Amino acid sequence: MKRPGVLAITVGFAAAAAGAWLGNSYYVFVIATLALTALVGVGLNVLVGLAGQVSFGHVGFYAMGAYAVAILTTSGKWSFWAALPAAGVIAAATGALLALPAVRVRGPYLAMVTIAFGFIVENAASEWKGLTGGQNGIMGIAQPFAERWIALFAIALAAVATVAFALLRDNRLGKAMLAVKDSETAAESIGIDPVRVKTVAFALSAGCAGIAGGVFAPLAGFVTPSTFAFSQSILFVLAVMIGGAGTVAGPLVGAAVVVLLPEALASLAEYRLLLFGVLLLGVLLAAPEGVVGTLDRLLGRRKPRCLEGTPAALGASSGLELEAERLGIVFGGVRAASGVSFRAPPGRITSLIGPNGAGKSTVLNLLGGFYRPQEGTVRLDRTSIGGLAAWRIARAGVARTYQTTQLFDSMSVAENVSLASPRGESERYLGFVGYRGELDAGAGSLAHVDKRLVEIARALAMQPSVLLLDEPAAGLSAADKRRLAALLKEIAAAGVAVVLVEHDMAMVMDISDSIVVLDAGVVVAYGPPQEIRTSPAVRNAYLGDGASRLAASRQDAAPGARLLETSGLRAAYGAEPVLQGVNCDVREREFVAVLGANGAGKSTLMRALAGLHRPVQGTIAFAGETLSALAAHEIVRRGIVLVPEGRQVFPELSVRENLELGAFACGGEAPAIESMLERFPRLRERLAQRAGLLSGGEQQMLAVARGLMGRPKLLMLDEPSLGLAPKVIQDLFATLDRLRSDAATILLVDQMAELALSLAERAYVLQAGQIVSQGSPAEVAAGAGIEQAYLGARA
Amino acid sequence: MGGIVMLKRIVLLVVVLAAALPAGAQETIKVGLVTALSGQSAQAGEAISRGLQTAIDELNAKGGILKGRKLELLRRDDEATPAKGVIAARELVFKEKVAVLFGGLDTPVSLAIVPLMNQEKIPFMGPWAAGTAITRNGANPNFAFRVSAVDELVDKAMLQYSLKTFNAKSCGMILVNNPWGESNEKGLTAALAAKGMKAAGVEKFEANDVDVVPQLSRLKAAGADCLFLVGNVGPSSQVVKSLDRMGWKPPIVSHWGPAGGRFTELAGPSARNVHFVQTYSFFGTQRPVGQKVLKALMAKYPDIKGPADVTPAVGVANAYDAMMLVALAIEKAGSTDGPAIREGFYKIDRYEGLIKTYEKPFSPQTHDALTENDYVWTQFIDNQIVPVGLKN
Amino acid sequence: MLASALLSGLGLGSMYGLLALGFYVTYSVSRTVNFSQGSSMMLGAVLAYTFVMRAGWPLVLAIAAALLLCALYGVVVERIAVRPFVKRRSEGWLMSTVAVGIIADNAVLFTFGKEPRGFSVPWTAASADVLGVHVSALQVAIPAVGLGAAAVLHAFSRRSRLGKAMRAVMQNPDAARLMGIDVSLAVAAAYAIASVFAGVAGVMIAPLFNVHSDMGTVFGLKAFAVAILGGITSAWGVVLAGLVFGAAESLITAFLGSSYTQILTFALVIVALAIRPDGLLGRAVVRKV
């Protein structure tokens, strides 16, 4: 909490207290209502702002608290001081109970569960007449002390809650809630049980609402069901969202808006709600992150705090062995993994490799408990951990990182790491992995390499026996990769069993003790690097074989004019640059290939050209027109069609419908479909089937056919061979070859370097977002870059 | 011409200023109204507003009360919830310092406000909400007065009427599920018990329910031969339409809800089967007061073209008489001091009002100006509310 | 009693389903909904009433005009209350659509009037006894129109160009862009359709109900419950859930009494979601990391 914020909040509470002390009974009542709304808001903020759950049923807890105090102090003859804590406990217990169904559902489903809860409470209050007095409620609730004092008491409660919230947010539990909000997956990977955390959040926030309701009852002197209508729940959520979810002062500001604004508009009588609606919309549009959130962003920055001194060493690990035993899992009829067995001994690096879609990440997910194995099991030091929840496996000593980093973006770097550490240390692990940036920087705004490092540091902070890493080198520069390789060796040396999924062959070959090669979910080779490097199965899986069989049969129509040209093309994901000034061109009737390692920026280049990735800097010119600012659907209409990575057919639509959609931009489906069916006879048999039921190869055919339906001037293909069997890849490339001989203009990105080069007339090699080599296929193939990029042969 | 108007205005201004000079004694007398002005009950809130405003305009045109002080109406929307009503009442009492506060149509809101009024010793006048406990609240001194029906009395009258007119043996209740419906459930059950009878069944329906067939089917199955209906005009019409769909035609004895709007338009031709209680109707021959008020309403509100547009008539009529009685009480008190006005109510001898001629309407024992003798049984014939039996 | 309760329950249920289909359409295409769907329903009824009863237009023309304006309203809601928030990755649309609903309801209150009005269409009064149950023409028409509208949506999404484009967007917005489909147009169309469906429900309900500014609030809320119960990404689930919800409401009222109706129906929703977190026919999404 920054000092001006603390000052502002203190002044706000002092002003409220002064108002309650000096004002007339109207102001006292309004201020008390404001304080109670703030109290509910602060509680709701625990749920919304910290745990990332929404509740449109908080009026139910508020009502429970109010009724509890009303009933206990009237017919129960309890003292207010006994009844109020009881109200809080009843509401909190109900909150925990509601969490049972609520934590199972997400998004709109969660909203509905809470709405339903609010309605049940409201209706129960009007139907359970013996207890609640029915529709006319309970009147004449005695005030334990004068109204002015109730107001001051309410202000005190709101202040205590605000301080408690600030403390909670900075404490382990609050951080665990934020972690669950940012990434449930990552939270589980550091041993946090999301169900428990969410349940606690529900209970705390319900408890606050219950206490607020408990004070409301004597303040108002009555409770009736209509006081606790659904609209009140909406006002509570509004208070949090207008103020700024997750901020300390947010609910206070929000409560002030939702309570004071209607009072300011009171003299408008019947027009009040109308104007309230208009102003509300205005505030939301002006400050979509909430008033406090927006102010926070506009105001102050923290003083940077960096690590100093030499990196610390990692403590010795307990040295347990991880063993996968005949692991298998099926997704929607597809065997993603089957009979996968290997061992990852302590102090060794065991790597999983294989072409894209081979099932590497799936196996990692099975090991880490993100997926529950349908066959086989996982053992840690001979104890079976297969099928346990991810957070239990994490606590047992298996830490992991993710293909796309899963940091807690709303927390700082130091918080990310210290949350995982049993002793709350962060600097030691950050120092060990070689992180040199700011400790208090928001994790969401880090550069790519730093995200990777922080994620590894976070995993190490768990003091794991086993570390699972999913493509940690993807997108790193050569220098960063070297540092990473050294780091992984050091981790293994400390006795950790390292399991690595990685595409960078040079690195894998260099640091692995043993390698598991997967293809189509099955282990095709398993052994030390030397063995794997020479294995024909591996070579086949990566490079394909017999590229030479494709005849260079193009009727050498000389390439025509320049069709596409980029200059200085730059693109980034957030703060992370992916393309760093790419200059390339494609001429009419030319077949151009773009090669490069995973994460070099090939797909991003395609997406930038197709208009899916915006904004970009630099220019994209096509047939004399600048496309850099156009959206994807506008670019398609100009004749650039992308067949995207992973095929992306519409699974629920039939093959025919998929084809028809291909011609969406230019029309004229029927004759074109016929010509596609001639080109791809397999599709004719499947015409009426749902595309999702086709095999991978058929889907790729369909994706190409769908692309051609748009009668492209330039056809772009992004990794068409991905995850296909070698025979199918042959067929696919034969098709591409025919297209080439039909004088189509094609830009191809494919990991099958040899095949791609065998078709292309010109090629570019992309590395770290820049073109490092270009020329004829022969020139490119002869250069050093290509081998290094694909197979990791040392230059 | 223009010059003369201008001159008149200047003279008026000088007179007003001169009158205002002696110690601000001539400032306006503020009266407050807290009722639902938005949402489902907006029309009812509007009716109360119109009744009060018409009376205030009339009084101000005569030069105001307490020797020339004008009356001013301040209205607040309670959105039909007690919590909002209580805040609004506090604002009017403590910030605006109203002399008298008028309540709205929701009994719980009034019940929530009355303790505050008793505590602050400022008179509360109910022109609509019929909950018995509003005026019989046990406080001494009691500052709550009312010119409206009282549920308990209406319920007795409803039972009486069903026995006499329809020779009912087994009555079923079909009540809107809100505090008003529940208050009448109590009243009707008590009235039946006093006669040694029991209801065939008690069914509730939501104000926004489209279909009431399931509830009515239960009553029919329970052997009801007459229905007691409590609900505003919209919900009441849903009951009538649902009965039509079932093809069931029991006699229906209703609280005054159907009078709140265009019942025939809403409920269709079967609307005339509903016999309901009324305190006032602008249809038929009007006494001079009625003629005067109707004329004033038509002049002030362009959407009022005839008696059918004065809806709900009870809201307008009750509010008009209530305001006039309040003005008399203030005159009798000779000041805007709350306790004095309260005493002033008791001193009113006779007022020739819209609903009736009031003779000593209030006493320390009676804070309700209307009694069961003031209820008329009416029905809708086409678009007119007429006393039962007058037309057929 | 069973037959008549079931009949009225299914009738209302089909209207809940119709409104809920609106939630389905916008959610599938854009992962957002208009929380004030009930206001669109109210607008349909209010506009049709105004054109027929006040302007004296022929019924068919009036309904067509009302639905057209509903579509326009849907587009406006998307523009001012949804798109600005989606662009900034904010969940603010949850609240802003509520605000727009408040504005719409109150604007109608002051323009249309505060009085509930009756909207009777000539043929609605016709009725007959079928198998011992008294049935009115409208009662037959309502589920017929409800299911008819669902069938029209089905045909629209399968046959028309825009419908197919919307289905493509539902399944994969990026791939849809690559087909030259303007995704923001598809989202706007989804909001228009949602609003029109609500409008149809409003016009159909109006003769059974009465027309006022507040008539859609409860309906909108129940329709949301229905959409969630069915699984908001499944059109058939939503329609089915509408019928289940409507039937449950009237059967509970008929056999247990009205005191329990709301408590039990909403409890049913919670229990159903606890057992099937993605609704009756909703499909779970495979999580990937």
**Contact list, A29 vs chain B (CB under 8 Å):** 86-87, 90
Restricting to B residues 195-214, those with a Cβ less than 8 Å away from any Cβ of C are 203-206, 208, 210-211, 213-214
By CA distance, what is A32's nearest residue in B?
A: B87
Q: Which of these three, B278, B306, B326, is where a domain ends? A: B278
Tens of pLDDT along B58-68?
999 999 998 89
Question: How many residues can be counted in chain A?
Answer: 795
ipTM summary value: 0.92
Any domain includes B384 = no
Flag if B208 and C215 touch (Cβ within 8 Å).
yes
By CA distance, what is A279's nearest residue in C?
A: C99
Burial of B13 (0-12, 13-18, 19+ CB in 10 A): exposed
> Minimal Cα–Cα distance from B256 to chain A, Å?
20
Which of A56, A98, A123, A374 is most worth mutating to test chain C (most C CB atoms within 10 A of its CB)? A123
| Structural domain for B171, as ranges | 152-278
Cα angle for residues C112, C114, C117 (degrees, 5° grid): 75
Give residues with Cβ within 8 angstroms of A120, minimum separation 6: A60, C262, C263, C266, C267, C270
pLDDT of C227 higher than 90: yes
Which of the four pLDDT bands, split at 50, 70 and 90, describes residue A556?
low
Instruction: Give yes or no for B218 touching C (CB within 8 A).
Output: yes
How many CB atoms lie under 10 A from the CB of residue A377? Answer: 15
Same domain flag for B102 and B185: no
All domains of chain A, ordered by start, with CATH? Answer: 3-230 (no CATH), 322-543 (3.40.50.300), 547-639+712-791 (3.40.50.300)
Which of A150, A222, A232 is most worth mutating to test chain B (most B CB atoms within 10 A of its CB)? A222
Q: How many domains does chain B have?
A: 2
Query: Residue B315: beta bridge partners?
Result: none
Q: What 3-state class would DSSP assign to B6?
A: helix
Which of the four pLDDT bands, split at 50, 70 and 90, describes residue C285?
low
pLDDT at A547: 43
> Minimal Cα–Cα distance from B111 to chain A, Å?
8
For residues B312 and A401, what is the distance between their CA atoms, to the nearest angstrom?
Answer: 70
Q: What 3-state class would DSSP assign to A349?
A: strand
Contact by Cβ (8 Å): A539, A792: no
By CA distance, what is C261's nearest residue in A?
A: A123
For residues C69 and A6, what is the distance between their CA atoms, to the nearest angstrom?
Answer: 50
pLDDT of A540 higher than 70: no
For chain B, the average pLDDT equals 88
Any domain includes B380 = no
Same domain flag for B260 and B164: yes
Q: Which of these three, B253, B278, B303, is where a domain ends? A: B278
pLDDT at A551: 45
For residues B266 and C207, what is the distance between their CA atoms, to the nearest angstrom?
Answer: 9
Cα angle for residues C63, C69, C75 (degrees, 5° grid): 140
Place of tokens 């509401």: A91
pLDDT of A529 higher than 50: yes
By CA distance, what is B120's nearest residue in A?
A: A25
pLDDT of A335 higher than 90: no
Q: What is the mean pLDDT of residues A580-595?
A: 91
For residues A450 and A437, what is the distance between their CA atoms, to the nearest angstrom?
Answer: 8
Burial of C155 (0-12, 13-18, 19+ CB in 10 A): exposed
Percentage of chain C exceeding pLDDT 70: 94
pLDDT of A554 higher than 70: no
Flag if C183 and A666 touch (Cβ within 8 Å).
no
Query: Residue A775: beta bridge partners?
Result: A763
What ranges do the domains of chain C cover?
A: 2-114+133-275
Ordered DSSP codes for A306-343: B--SPPPPPPPP----EEEEEEEEEETTEEEEEEEEEE
For residues C99 and A160, what is the distance between their CA atoms, to the nearest angstrom?
Answer: 31
For chain C, the average pLDDT equals 89
Question: Which residue pairs, CB below 8 angstroms and at least 24 apart, start in A21-28?
Answer: A21/A148, A21/A152, A24/B94, A24/B95, A25/A147, A25/B90, A25/B93, A25/B94, A25/B120, A26/B87, A26/B90, A26/B91, A26/B93, A26/B94, A26/B95, A27/B94, A27/B95, A28/A147, A28/A148, A28/A151
Which of C159, C179, C259 is most worth mutating to test chain A (most A CB atoms within 10 A of its CB)? C179
Any domain includes B383 = no
> Taking Cα atoms as reference points, which of C103, C134, C128, C143 lies closest to residue C239?
C143
Q: What is the pTM of this model?
A: 0.88
Instruction: Tell me the longest C-alpha to C-alpha distance in chain A.
Output: 99
pLDDT at B22: 44
Choice among A495-499, A647-651, B50-54 with the minimum mean pLDDT: A647-651
pLDDT at A553: 47
Strand-strand pairing, A349-353 and C127-130: unpaired
Contact by Cβ (8 Å): C166, C190: yes
pLDDT at B244: 87
- Which among C125, C139, C258 has the least Cβ separation from residue B204? C258
User: A656-670, B130-144, C190-204 — which one is most confidently predicted on average?
Assistant: C190-204
Backbone φ and ψ of A469, nearest 5°: -125, 125
Residues of C with CB under 8 A from a CB of B: 1, 4-5, 8-9, 11-12, 106, 109, 113-118, 120, 125, 127, 129, 134-136, 139, 205, 208-210, 212-215, 217-219, 250-251, 253-254, 257-259, 262
Provide the CATH number for the domain formed by C2-114+133-275 in this structure.
Answer: 1.10.3470
pLDDT at A236: 94
How many CB atoms lie under 10 A from the CB of residue B346? Answer: 15
Structure tokens at C243: 């019928």
pLDDT at A93: 97
> Taking Cα atoms as reference points, which of B122, B102, B124, B114 lies closest to residue B44?
B102
Same domain flag for B145 and B157: no
Which of the four pLDDT bands, split at 50, 70 and 90, describes residue C284?
low
Same domain flag for B298 and B309: yes
Same domain flag for B352 and B266: no
> Minimal Cα–Cα distance from B40 to chain A, Å?
12
Q: What is the mean pLDDT of residues A99-115?
A: 90
Which of the four pLDDT bands, split at 50, 70 and 90, describes residue A312?
low
For residues C140 and B294, what is the distance between their CA atoms, to the nearest angstrom?
Answer: 44
- SS3 helix, strand, coil % of chain B, rounded to 5? 50, 15, 35
* Chains interfacing with A (3 or more CB pairs < 8 Å): B, C
SS (H, E, C) B65-82: ECCCECEEEEEEECCCCH
For residues A324 and A339, what is the distance between their CA atoms, to the nearest angstrom?
Answer: 9
What Å distances lie between residue A636 and A627, A701, A710, CA to CA? 11, 20, 8
Q: What is the mean pLDDT of residues B153-164?
A: 93
Any domain includes B174 = yes
Any domain includes B104 = yes
Query: Residue A251: beta bridge partners?
Result: none
Q: What 3-state class would DSSP assign to A254?
A: helix
A544: left (phi over 0), alpha (psi -120 to 50) or beta: left
Instruction: Give yes or no for C221 touching A (CB within 8 A).
Output: yes
pLDDT of B190 higher than 80: yes
- Which among C183, C229, C262 has the least Cβ separation from residue A119? C262
For residues C58 and C55, what is the distance between their CA atoms, to the nearest angstrom?
Answer: 9
Residue type at B230?
A: V
Can you give the CATH number for the domain in which B227 is found?
3.40.50.2300
Q: Which residue has the higher pLDDT, B275 or B19?
A: B275
Contact by Cβ (8 Å): C45, C270: no
Contact by Cβ (8 Å): B36, B128: no
Tens of pLDDT along A479-527?
788 889 999 999 999 899 999 998 777 888 889 999 999 887 889 889 9
Percentage of chain B exceeding pLDDT 90: 64
Q: What 3-state class would DSSP assign to B253?
A: strand
**Contact list, B39 vs chain C (CB under 8 Å):** 109, 214
For residues A669 and A673, what is the distance between their CA atoms, to the nearest angstrom?
Answer: 6
pLDDT of A559 higher than 80: no
pLDDT at A333: 65
pLDDT at B69: 93
Tens of pLDDT along C109-130?
889 888 888 887 766 666 677 6
Q: What is the mean pLDDT of residues B223-229?
A: 95
Question: Which residue pairs, CB below 8 angstroms and at least 24 apart, start in A274-277?
Answer: A274/C102, A274/C103, A274/C106, A274/C107, A274/C109, A274/C110, A276/C102, A277/C99, A277/C100, A277/C101, A277/C102, A277/C103, A277/C106
pLDDT at A139: 85
What Å distances lie between residue A350 and A170, A500, A539, C233, CA to CA? 38, 6, 19, 42
Contact by Cβ (8 Å): A442, A411: yes
For residues A402 and B306, what is the distance between their CA atoms, to the nearest angstrom?
Answer: 76
Percentage of chain A exceeding pLDDT 90: 43
Tens of pLDDT along B78-108?
988 888 999 999 999 999 999 999 999 888 8
Tens of pLDDT along B247-259?
899 999 999 888 8
Q: What is the mean pLDDT of residues A32-54?
A: 95
Flag if B88 and A266 touch (Cβ within 8 Å).
yes
pLDDT at B314: 87
pLDDT at A542: 60
**Contact list, A104 vs chain C (CB under 8 Å):** 273-274, 277
Tens of pLDDT along C8-67?
888 889 999 999 999 999 999 999 999 999 999 999 999 999 999 899 999 999 999 999
Which of the four pLDDT bands, split at 50, 70 and 90, describes residue B311?
confident
